[in-house]
Every structure is written in structure tokens, then in C-alpha cells.
């Protein structure tokens, strides 16, 4: 079953926002300046990041935990920096 979240419920979900380009394997986060390349499956990486949603108080903590988890599994490498 699929349900939609309204704006009030959405604010209750803690977790950052990541952006993945599955065509070229690029990954970035709202709160981090690094641009990463996913060395394995993009979908496996997204599954791992999604498993951390709701476990951290701030977006920055969520983003840092995602990066740490993916790096510990050798799934990402830094390939650049965002300009802004």
C-alpha cells in the first residue's frame, strides 16, 4: 500500500537529501561539498542510505553517517567539490 505524506508529516522525517545520477554513478549531498563516485551498485548505495533515514537529529549528521557507511564499505570515492 502506498500513502502520501503531507508537509507536516514530512518535517517529522529526519534525514538529509542525497542526489544520485545512476547513469554515471555520481552522488552528492545537500550539506557536503564533496562529489562522490559510487564504485558499486547505485541502488545498493541508495538502499544503505535509506536505511539510515530517521536515525539522526540533523541533516548534516545523516549525510555524514551516509558518507561514513559507504566509505567503510568501499562503495564511494571523492571525485570533486561543489562550487557553491
Name the band, by pLDDT with cuts 50, 70 and 90, for residue 14.
Answer: low
Identify the pLDDT of residue 63.
95
Long-range contacts of 52-57 (CB under 8 A, 24+ apart): 52/15, 53/13, 53/14, 53/15, 54/13, 54/14, 54/15, 55/14, 55/15, 56/14, 56/15, 57/14
DSSP 5: -
Name the band, by pLDDT with cuts 50, 70 and 90, for residue 48.
Answer: very high
Rounded mean pLDDT of 9-34? 80
CA–CA separation, 18 and 46 (whole Å): 9
Rounded mean pLDDT of 29-58? 94
Mean pLDDT taken over the chain? 85
| pTM of the full structure | 0.80
Amino acid at each position: 500500500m502506498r500513502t502520501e505524506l503531507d508537509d507536516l508529516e514530512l518535517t517529522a522525517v529526519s534525514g538529509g537529501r542525497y542526489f544520485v545520477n545512476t547513469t554515471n554513478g555520481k552522488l552528492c549531498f545537500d550539506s557536503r561539498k564533496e562529489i562522490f563516485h559510487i564504485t558499486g551498485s547505485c541502488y545498493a548505495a541508495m538502499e544503505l542510505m535509506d536505511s539510515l533515514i530517521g536515525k539522526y537529529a540533523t541533516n548534516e549528521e545523516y549525510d555524514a553517517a551516509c558518507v561514513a557507511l559507504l566509505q567503510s564499505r568501499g562503495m564511494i570515492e571523492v571525485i570533486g567539490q561543489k562550487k557553491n
